Amino acid sequence: MLADGETAFVHEMLQTFLENIDADIVSFRDAISQGDSIALSERAHKLKGSVQILEAHGMVNILKDIELRAREGEAVQAFQTEFAQLDSLFEQIKTEVQSQLQSLT
């Protein structure tokens, strides 16, 4: 069980995640649609940091792979399988975070 101060901190962290994740996903998808490997690498790096604090290891591993391969210049089109996996995982993690927030209130 979390102490009151810890509960408030966790609540704030999760709320901040939810407030920012949609914009981060849009930015990630923009890099995909533009075919910009460098921007994709940067967006993957940012998203990786965001989900890493939630210990979403599967998502972190996919984003790390995209980040490194895109930085090396691999074409954006090469990541279609990873993009499909991430779409599903983004929705799952948002649902889980919303559930956690409700349990903290």
Q: Where are the domains of the chain?
A: 4-98
Report the C-alpha gap between 72 and 69 in whole angstroms. 5
pLDDT digits (tens, 9 = 90+) for 16-43: 999 998 899 999 999 999 999 999 999 9
Report the C-alpha gap between 58 and 25 in whole angstroms. 17
Report the CATH number of the 4-98 domain: 1.20.120.160
- SS3 breakdown of the chain: % helix, strand, coil, rounded to 5? 85, 0, 15
Q: Which residue has the tokens 């956690």?
A: 100
Return mean pLDDT, the chain.
Answer: 89
Report the C-alpha gap between 28 and 39 in whole angstroms. 8
| Longest Cα–Cα distance in the chain | 48
Residue 2 has pLDDT above 60, yes or no: no
* Model pTM score: 0.85
